[in-house]
């Protein structure tokens, strides 16, 4: 079976067009949604994500403040900047790009963000509300995955979904959203991780397989059930001297093998990635509406 490609760029653009109308409405009532983005250090992948976020704000007509700090920035300096953004009425959402340098306590920084501006959905208050099924900011990548499934007409309710990976950013929250009693939820969810035994036996049962492990091409064709829907969250740089940049991007799924087995599959790049940024814009607009 040759898999149908789930085009994340296309779906992300549809949602961005819908958001454009909402931004125009807000602007006509004197509100310009604003996003504050903080990057500490010079990790190349983080830098390119932050640039993409700035560009998305510009395209949508959002106000944005982008602060790039050197790697030696202290925790105190970063907390002070978060506090300034918390108190800036032009900023509806604050995003501190992760990972942070090791000398900074990430949890402390996340907890310093005003939960009303937590457009990443990483604050314990947002996570708690999400788990309870209450309205809140949903983390962008997990929310983007749910939207991708819904807009690709994948039936989630009652499906066996296997999530590979248990990070706080993707694995745990996406598993919770899939479990939730709401549209895009009501699935039977299994989470696999580095200590899981006989992983292929579990993944082969998945109607929907979500790979978020951060290991290049970890999921091979023999781990996938015929006709499964495969969502690849991974973005891994692998050396490739034939490319101008010296590397190419691959997912956590061995695409050529998976595409032979799956009924639908997300590519890397152009699958989940564009959805993450779009849901960040969505959360920022949602926050501005609540201003
Ligand atoms: N690093 C990788 N993904 C994310 C994300 O969604 N938000 C933030 N703040 N940092 C990240």
| Residue range 64-99, pLDDT digits in tens | 999 999 999 999 999 999 999 999 999 999 999 999
On whether residue 190 sits in a domain, the answer given is: yes
Using alpha carbons, select from 175, 148, 178 the residue that is nearest to residue 273: 148
Q: Is the CB of 231 under 6 A from ligand 1?
A: no
Q: Is the CB of 233 under 6 A from ligand 1?
A: no
On whether residue 239 sits in a domain, the answer given is: yes
- Take residue 58 and report the two structure tokens written for it: 């510009």
Q: Is the CB of 180 under 6 A from ligand 1?
A: no
On whether residue 18 sits in a domain, the answer given is: no
> Do residues 146 and 246 both lie within one domain?
yes
Atom in ligand 1 nearest the alpha carbon of residue 139: 6
Atom in ligand 1 nearest the alpha carbon of residue 46: 1
Predicted model pTM: 0.97
Q: Is the CB of 96 under 6 A from ligand 1?
A: yes
> Do residues 201 and 144 both lie within one domain?
yes
Q: How many angstroms separate the CA atoms of 4 and 117, rounded?
A: 37
Which residue's alpha carbon is nearest to atom 4 within ligand 1?
98
Backbone dihedral angles phi then psi of residue 13, each to the nearest 5 degrees: -65, -40
* Residue 70: predicted pLDDT: 98
Q: Considering the chain, what is the average pLDDT of its residues?
A: 97
> Do residues 105 and 177 both lie within one domain?
no
On whether residue 17 sits in a domain, the answer given is: no
Quote the Cα angle for 274-118-230, to 5°: 35
Q: How many angstroms separate the CA atoms of 174 and 131, rounded?
A: 10
On whether residue 286 sits in a domain, the answer given is: no
Count of the separate structural domains present in the chain: 2
> Do residues 106 and 157 both lie within one domain?
no
Q: Is the CB of 209 under 6 A from ligand 1?
A: no
On whether residue 291 sits in a domain, the answer given is: no
> Do residues 148 and 35 both lie within one domain?
no
Please report, for the domain that includes residue 247, its CATH number.
Answer: 3.40.50.720
Using alpha carbons, select from 29, 287, 282, 286 the residue that is nearest to residue 144: 282
Band (pLDDT 50/70/90 cuts) for residue 236 is very high
* Residue 259: predicted pLDDT: 98
In this structure, are residues 52 and 276 in contact, taking their beta carbons and an 8 Å threshold? Answer: no
- Take residue 151 and report the two structure tokens written for it: 């807009």
Which residue's alpha carbon is nearest to atom 1 within ligand 1?
98
Which of 53, 84, 116 terminates a domain? The answer is 116
Domain around 150 = 139-273
Q: How many angstroms separate the CA atoms of 262 and 54, rounded?
A: 34
> Do residues 99 and 149 both lie within one domain?
no
Please report, for the domain that includes residue 90, its CATH number.
Answer: 3.40.50.10860
- Of 38, 49, 107, 138, the one to substitute when testing ligand 1's pocket (max ligand atoms within 8 A of C-beta) is 49
Backbone dihedral angles phi then psi of residue 253, each to the nearest 5 degrees: -115, 140
Look at residue 1 and tell me whether its pLDDT is greater than 80. Answer: no
Instruction: Describe the crossing of helices 140-151 and 8-28 by its angle, rounded to 10 degrees.
Output: 110
- Of 97, 139, 281, the one to substitute when testing ligand 1's pocket (max ligand atoms within 8 A of C-beta) is 97
**DSSP secondary structure letter of residue 92:** S
> Do residues 99 and 164 both lie within one domain?
no
Atom in ligand 1 nearest the alpha carbon of residue 280: 6
On whether residue 186 sits in a domain, the answer given is: yes
> Do residues 107 and 143 both lie within one domain?
no
Strand, helix or coil for residue 251: coil
Contact residues for 114 (Cβ-Cβ < 8 A; gap 6+)? 86, 94
On whether residue 268 sits in a domain, the answer given is: yes
Look at residue 214 and tell me whether its pLDDT is greater than 80. Answer: yes
Q: How many CB atoms lie within 10 A of CB 246?
A: 10
Which residue's alpha carbon is nearest to atom 8 within ligand 1?
97
């Amino acid at each position: 079976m040759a898999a149908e490609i789930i085009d994340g760029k296309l779906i992300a653009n549809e949602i961005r067009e819908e958001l454009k109308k909402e931004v125009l409405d807000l602007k006509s009532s004197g509100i310009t949604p604003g996003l504050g983005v903080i990057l500490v250090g010079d990790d190349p992948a983080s830098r390119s994500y932050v640039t993409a976020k700035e560009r998305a704000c510009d395209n949508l007509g959002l106000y944005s403040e982008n602060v790039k700090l050197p790697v030696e920035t202290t925790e105190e300096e970063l907390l002070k900047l978060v506090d300034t953004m918390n108190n800036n009425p032009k900023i509806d959402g604050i995003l501190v790009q992760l990972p942070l340098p090791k000398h900074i306590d990430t949890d402390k920084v996340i907890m310093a963000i005003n939960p009303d501006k937590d457009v990443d959905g990483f604050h314990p208050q947002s996570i708690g509300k999400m788990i309870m099924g209450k309205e809140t900011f949903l983390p962008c990548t997990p929310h983007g995955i749910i939207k991708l499934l819904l807009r690709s007409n994948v039936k989630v309710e009652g499906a066996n979904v296997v999530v590979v990976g248990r990070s706080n950013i993707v694995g745990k929250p996406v598993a919770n959203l899939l479990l939730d009693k709401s549209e895009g939820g009501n699935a039977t969810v299994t989470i696999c991780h580095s200590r899981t035994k006989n992983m292929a036996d579990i993944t082969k049962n998945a109607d929907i397989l979500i790979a978020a492990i951060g290991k290049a091409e970890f999921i091979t064709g023999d781990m996938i059930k015929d006709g499964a829907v495969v969502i690849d969250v991974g973005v891994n740089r692998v050396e490739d001297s034939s490319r101008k940049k010296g590397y190419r991007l691959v997912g956590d799924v061995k695409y050529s093998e998976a595409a032979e087995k799956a009924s639908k599959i997300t590519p890397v790049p152009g699958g989940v990635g564009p959805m993450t940024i779009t849901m960040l814009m969505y959360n920022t607009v949602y926050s501005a509406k609540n201003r």
